[in-house]
Structure 1
Amino acid sequence: MSTAHYLVQTRFTPLQPYMRNTVYFLLFLLFATSCVTKKELVYLQGERLNRNTPTDFQSNFTAYKLQPNDVLSVKVLSIDPEMSSMFNIINPNSAFGVSDPGSMYMSGYTIDTEGNINLPVIGKVKVLGLTPTQAQELIQTNLNRYITDATVVSKLISFKISVLGDVKNPGHFYIYNERANLLEGLSMAGDLTQGANRDNVKLIRQKGENSQIILLDLKDPNLVQSPYYYLMPNDVIYVEPRQTQLKRDNLIVLTTILGLISTGSLLYNVFK
């Protein structure tokens, strides 16, 4: 055996078991922390749910009450276009006249701090605390004093939600359904990622000048009975990552660092 071969064998033999054991240990930790069970991913679990029989849950939907800074689109339709045109900011025959949310906002009527909207000819109409349907009926009643055979169509166009955190496509989304629910809002953001925590989804909701933070469990089938199951304008949904996901990410970083250290030690011994 040559002297060079002996030195190389002597220097590297003690390092090999240590490096091999370290790699095995890190791979074991990575596998252990990466395991995701079905119970962590499935929505609306529970013994109450039957495979072939529908399970009824009582709905707690409450119609939204208009607040200051909400924006209403108000359109008047009648057989006399000239008469109805004075009430409309834009042509009412073009799908509410707009296609993007910015234009919808500019063409709507913003509720002021006193709860009023200021309509042409009619003047101020107090809609604070009314549902969108009740506001439409009130505007119709006021309109009947000025024009007959006309129909008012009023819609809330400032229904926007924000979805943040561990979802595939976070962002803000406009809702065109007054009975949209939490799962629909999450689906607009592309659903949760596999590493998302389904036990503690945070819902931030505006209540007048205050904000409420509610923790919701997507795995609980009783979620559909919660008063927070249905979305409201300006809701913010935040999905946090699971602890196992954080541990896995940290372990990947640790594995990379130890790999660099091992490689550096190996190169050091080679060139030394």
Structure 2
Amino acid sequence: MKKRKLPLQFIGMLLLMSMASCYSSKELVYLQNDEFNSQYPTLIKNKRPLYRIQPNDVLNINIQNPDTETSVYFNYGNQEMRGFANPSVFFITGFSVNNEGDIKIPLIGKVKVENLTIDEATQLIQREADRYVRNATVDVKLVSFKISVMGEVNNPGQYYIYNGQATVLEGLSMAGDLTGFGSRTEIKLIRQHDEGVEVVLLDLTDAKLMNSSYYFLLPNDVLYVEPTEEQIRRTNLQPLGIVFSGISALVLITNFLLNNVNLDNGN
């Protein structure tokens, strides 16, 4: 039996399809820089921005004193719940910054903390606490530092950060890194400002990202990973596949009916 040869056009089309679905290392490798090597480290200068407290932030404030009874007054209502790690507990026991930039601490009263860093707020509350009790120890932490990661990542969602800082890479790693169809060159960072919303595109394949002022995340940042062109093409082809399947099924049914009619006429 003579074997049929595949048309050259068909072979060429298969090759083009396989090439279109492949990725090069330039598209997948993060933080590419020709200066990186194994002999010595490459210093990339950057400085983490100091976050300043804003309205709607939630602070965890712990004021301790050798006198246990006095400490209870300062921390009334949250002693029993401090051992729980659920983020919602911090919102229940924490101190919310109101629209005027103030918090209200038992015994101390109203304290304005807006536009202060965490260290500055700690020093201010320390001075206020010293007016009421001796040898007080004040500890302040921002517990509303959360980010949202969306799009082509393995585990999209909201994530709380407890170390006081986070980078874009850390935020994406918390979400399980990008999927195979996530664009490494177009990551949208969405950041809220008093004047509106700021959007910037980040390129994970470029080592210059580590020089950027956007390399460090701020509370309430949103990272959105766009799909690659390959993923968009696949998504667009899905409804076409359904249409072609329907057409194929219709053709088969039509041929079947026509063959039966011809057989009946032949009889």
Highest relative contact order (Cα 8 Å, sep 6+), 1 or 2? 1
What secondary structure sits across from 2:82 in the alignment?
A: helix
| Alignment match of 1:53 (pick from 40, 43, 50) | 40
2:185 aligned with 1:199, yes or no? yes
For 1:190, the aligned partner's letter is G
Instruction: Give me the whole-angstrom Cα distance separating, in 2, the residues matched to 1:196 and 1:124.
Output: 47
Q: TM-score, normalised by structure 1?
A: 0.85
Moved over 4 A (4+): 20-30
Alignment of 1:192-231 (within 5 A): 192-231=178-217
Q: TM-score, normalised by structure 2?
A: 0.86
Instruction: Give me the whole-angstrom Cα distance separating, in 2, the residues matched to 1:145 and 1:209.
Output: 38
2:104 aligned with 1:104, yes or no? no
Residues 172 and 22 of structure 1: CA distance in aligned 2, closer, same or farther (over 3 Å): farther
List per-residue Cα deviations over 1:227-248 (Å, max 9, x = no partner): 1111111001111101122113
Alignment of 1:253-272 (within 5 A): 253-272=239-258
List per-residue Cα deviations over 1:193-238 (Å, max 9, x = no partner): 0111111100111122522111111111011111111111100111
2:71 aligned with 1:84, yes or no? yes
Mean Cα deviation higher: 63-72 or 32-41: 32-41
For 2:170, the aligned partner's letter is E
For 1:211, the aligned partner's letter is V
Q: Percent identity?
A: 45
Unpaired segments of 5 or more residues in structure 2? 259-267
Number of the residue aligned with 2:261: none
Unpaired segments of 5 or more residues in structure 1? 1-16
How large is the RMSD of aligned CA atoms in angstroms?
2.4
Alignment of 1:117-156 (within 5 A): 117-156=103-142
Q: CA deviation at 1:35?
A: 1.5
Mean Cα deviation higher: 245-254 or 121-130: 245-254
2:158 aligned with 1:181, yes or no? no
Instruction: Give me the whole-angstrom Cα distance separating, in 2, the residues matched to 1:196 and 1:263.
Output: 35
The number of equivalent residue pairs is: 253
Instruction: Give me the whole-angstrom Cα distance separating, in 1, the residues matched to 2:173 and 2:191.
Output: 19
Instruction: Give me the whole-angstrom Cα distance separating, in 2, the residues matched to 1:179 and 1:159.
Output: 9
2:225 aligned with 1:239, yes or no? yes
Q: CA deviation at 1:122?
A: 1.0
Instruction: Give me the whole-angstrom Cα distance separating, in 1, the residues matched to 2:119 and 2:8.
Output: 69
Contact 1:89 1:107 in 2 (8 A): no
What secondary structure sits across from 1:261 in the alignment?
A: helix
For 1:268, the aligned partner's letter is T
Number of the residue aligned with 1:63: 50
What secondary structure sits across from 1:117 in the alignment?
A: strand
Residues 58 and 100 of structure 1: CA distance in aligned 2, closer, same or farther (over 3 Å): same
